Amino acid sequence: MKADVKAAQPPVGREPVSRAGWRILTLVCAAQAMSLLDRQILSILARDIKADLHIGDAELGLLYGTVFALFYALFSLPLGRLADGWVRTRLLAICIAVWSFSTLMAAFASGFALLALSRLGVGIGEAASGPTGNSLVFDVFPKNRRGFAMGAVAIAIALGLGLSMMLGGLAADWWNHAFTGARPLGLAGWQFAFVVAALPGFILVALLLREREPTRGGQDGIATRQDPAPFRASLALFAAVAPVSHWIMLYRRRAPPRSWIANLAALATILAVGIALVLLAERLSPRPPIAFGPVALSAHVLQWSVVGFGAFVIVNLFQSLKLADRPAHAAICSPTLLLLMGTGALQYAINYGVMGFTPSFLMRTYGLSARETGLHFGLLSAGLGMLGPLLAGPLADRANRHLPGAGRIGLTLVSLGLSPLLAIWTYTAPDASGFYWRFTLYSLVLTMWMPPLYAMLYDLVLPRMRGVTSSTFVMISTLSGLGIGPYAVGMISDANGGDLASAILSVNLVAPVIVVLLVLAMLHVKRDEASLITRCRAAGEEI
């Protein structure tokens, strides 16, 4: 696809948002909320699942993070490319149907394998939610309102997170009390909670199928030509990043010897690091093997095999972009964009590690029930998760007006620089009420980073590249965040006799690196934003 600049310049004033624009934002926000609801509900149900399936915290980390993360990240690439060329409303509807059905599957899981398969399906379905939703929103909101729009999306994510705990805890508790000692339809309380979580997604599917597709790039004054073969391009991208088929694509594209050398060297490095991490994990926290039918695998081998596979896919992705779409490679590989992606990846490791085990921490440390935890912590998380982005979205827009680019990054720096200090204070609270009061300030500060960072990510590429940019970011951040964060917390907890407080706080050790990355991004952003068109033209983009 090529991009053409219209005679009229992109809107610069405070342009009104159409009714259709508000409707699309509402549907995208609902999709994001449903996504987090189905993804996160496992955390509040963890105690009952552990008791029923006889697994530990490390295995829960695998279910919550790693198994989901691999397929979520891997399929976000071809689905993100499909979002750049096909009907996005239709694509999002299909993917919601897939992840809702997969969530429903978990209700019938009687062992680790089927629950893992359910998480796999949820990961594949949700892979399109970010790339497709963000692309839709940016085509119905002008540039000077996108901080607000990203704030609304972040609020929806927080709402979904809170709902997952409230709905999961209440549904499971109600079922268990209503049918004490019995399991109607063969369902335990945690299984019934998955049924409740799955059903709203099918309503959203029907609403999305009725929505018209917005003009791609219209808000930026850059009209994108229709993609003649989006499915072929999507499959080609998948083949170009998947191991083995990537080598076939390198051969077909007549990649130079240096590309082959770089690829094989990266693979050797990933294998060596993966083996070292497995040996280290086995020493720190030995775990019994997990049975998949007749096959039994070490949890640590499974964990680092998945992460290593994903890391190799990321290497293949950047090689593929350089060979097949040099303008996109030139845009995505700007210093600022890479630094922001690194920031998001590390912060997601903190976020998912913390939120994945906080419900278990509350129940284990303060003796709370699943109902109490789901209701109180879920309500608090949802409220604060909405308030933080609600403040951060307009603040990001204002900061960008006064200090373009660097202002948004500065707001992210304040949020992510302060939050680790508040985490130490919060997770050492003497009682549950003290924890909730401290968590209020902690969560308010922590939730302010997403709107400014996401707004910057998609302003640093052309409209036609937003889907693949989102997918690239999803791939990197998911493998680091979901793929490592929950597993690391679970493993450290198992090694320390179930001490979740120290395990949760341990993931904040990457915070100093985040601060350094953001400072470097502030130094590069002005130059990278100004040179976007020039870099893309030099790489072959017809603008």
When pLDDT is averaged across residues 161-187 and rounded to a whole number, the result is 76
- Name the residue among 447, 456, 454 with its Cα closest to residue 386: 447
When pLDDT is averaged across residues 361-376 and rounded to a whole number, the result is 82
Angle, in degrees to the nearest 10, between helices 19-44 and 189-198: 170
**pLDDT given for residue 48 in this prediction:** 80
**pLDDT given for residue 96 in this prediction:** 93
In whole angstroms, how large is the CA radius of gyration of the chain?
Answer: 22
- Asked whether residue 37 carries a pLDDT value surpassing 90, the answer given is no
Between 499 and 386, the higher pLDDT residue: 499
**pLDDT given for residue 268 in this prediction:** 96
The band of 12, judged by pLDDT with boundaries at 50, 70 and 90, is very low
Query: Is the C-alpha dihedral spanning 213, 219, 220, 223 positive or negative?
Result: positive
Angle at alpha carbon of residue 509, lines to 505 and 510, rounded to 5°: 130
What is the rounded CA–CA span in Å between residue 144 and residue 201? 31
3-state secondary structure of 6: coil
Digit-coded pLDDT (tens) for 68-86: 777 887 787 788 788 877 8
**pLDDT given for residue 11 in this prediction:** 45
- Give percent of the chain with pLDDT exceeding 70: 90
**Count of other CB atoms within 10 angstroms of residue 322:** 16
- Asked whether residue 513 carries a pLDDT value surpassing 90, the answer given is yes
**pLDDT given for residue 483 in this prediction:** 76
Classify residue 543: in a domain, yes or no: no
Digit-coded pLDDT (tens) for 332-356: 989 999 999 999 999 988 888 887 7
Digit-coded pLDDT (tens) for 381-415: 777 777 777 777 778 778 778 887 788 888 889 88
What's the domain range around 65? 3-538
What is the rounded CA–CA span in Å between residue 113 and residue 109? 8
- Residue 417, CA distances (Å) to 35, 352, 414, 442 in order: 28, 17, 5, 12
**Count of other CB atoms within 10 angstroms of residue 403:** 16
**pLDDT given for residue 7 in this prediction:** 39
When pLDDT is averaged across residues 191-219 and rounded to a whole number, the result is 84
Count of the separate structural domains present in the chain: 1
The band of 182, judged by pLDDT with boundaries at 50, 70 and 90, is low
**Count of other CB atoms within 10 angstroms of residue 7:** 5
- Residue 32, CA distances (Å) to 28, 85, 122 in order: 6, 21, 13
Digit-coded pLDDT (tens) for 230-260: 788 888 878 888 888 889 988 888 888 999 9
Digit-coded pLDDT (tens) for 98-137: 999 998 988 887 777 788 888 888 888 888 887 788 888 8
Classify residue 41: in a domain, yes or no: yes
When pLDDT is averaged across residues 465-473 and rounded to a whole number, the result is 79
When pLDDT is averaged across residues 179-189 and rounded to a whole number, the result is 72
- Asked whether residue 159 carries a pLDDT value surpassing 90, the answer given is no
The band of 516, judged by pLDDT with boundaries at 50, 70 and 90, is very high
Average pLDDT for the chain: 82
- Asked whether residue 426 carries a pLDDT value surpassing 90, the answer given is yes
Which range is least confidently modeled, 224-228, 329-333, 525-529?
A: 224-228
Q: Which helix (H) or strand (E) holds 291?
A: strand 290-292
**pLDDT given for residue 3 in this prediction:** 47
**pLDDT given for residue 223 in this prediction:** 62
- Residue 403, CA distances (Å) to 275, 407, 517, 521 in order: 46, 5, 19, 14
Classify residue 86: in a domain, yes or no: yes
HEC profile for 300-312?
A: HHHHHHHHHHHHH
The band of 36, judged by pLDDT with boundaries at 50, 70 and 90, is confident
CATH code assigned at 490: 1.20.1250.20
